[in-house]
Structure 1
Amino acid sequence: MQRASAVAYLMDRRRRWLQKIETTPGGDVEFERQEVELLAQLILDVRAARVNTFQFTRPQAVEIYVSDN
């Protein structure tokens, strides 16, 4: 996946986590906030080319390889 697409993918994923926090009262808010913080850092790392691959195991397993092309 191109770097810009990977950043867009991560930003969308972060947006969905934030929506989940807002719409799910009584959920594990601390866990959700930690996930959002991790995604924010990953976005910065991918954008700065410090990370070229990342993976998620939930809600479904996905592994992303980032290219500069």
Structure 2
Amino acid sequence: MKTELVISGNNLSTRKINKIIKEGLKDNTKKFIIENDKKLDSLVVGIREEAEFILKGEFGDF
């Protein structure tokens, strides 16, 4: 179990980032830091588990 997961989204699709988050939630990760230098939309949509999300960089909607 990780207490915090840092995701570098620079070369990842929105779908891949969301998949990594869902896998982290299954492992009881409760804090996610998503670093990004390109605009991404629709991150963490539909996540019902309680968790903290810190977005660093440029993001669009959601």
TM-score (norm 1): 0.28
Higher RCO (CA-CA < 8 Å; seq separation 6+): 1
Structure with greater Cα Rg: 1
TM-score (norm 2): 0.31
Identify the structure with the greater strand proportion: 2
